[in-house]
Structure 1
């Protein structure tokens, strides 16, 4: 069974890179254009993992994770942040909100795949 990954980023080029990397490895990919769009898709569609940016309009990554984890459909869905940010305080906030990990952009396709394989099973 194919795993479905939700990629949430306000940058079309980052979403495209994530989508291409994951699709080439056999994953189905759904895209969210910002945190609010990503949250709506995450609670209305069953996904196996979420890759989310931190700095986005309408709802940032940590806000999206908090809202997702507060919703019954968000329970147990693994989330990894993919961001240009790397401050420890943000990483701590993300972990406390429910993120499993944090990757810094730019990312290598191999590292992204390794993380997704680990969290999506």
Structure 2
């Protein structure tokens, strides 16, 4: 993103305009999170593939072992689902940067807020709209 593009990104009243360096830092953070999520998903998928390929997995386990393994698999699946969700949101944030819509609230069209995006770069809603969503 060019410096002129960064300066045109929306900010809340009282916030300084974005600089190209600030946008680059947020983008780098997102790209690092995306890479980490992809690595994590690759590891989880490899573990599950290993389990599926092992025909004797769990043979001879008592019911407590079977239950503990099932609980662990469900827990791992939930974490993988969460990681996939974060990956998708990170990729969407990068797409929004490239499209010039990063920092615009999906609900009301106002600025999400520079400070909010620096703290949580995947945010798509301003604080007001996020609070309204959470109350529902």
Q: TM-score, normalised by structure 2?
A: 0.24
Structure with greater Cα Rg: 2
Higher relative contact order (CA 8 A, sep 6+): 2
Structure that is richer in strand per residue: 1
Structure that is richer in helix per residue: 2
Q: TM-score, normalised by structure 1?
A: 0.26
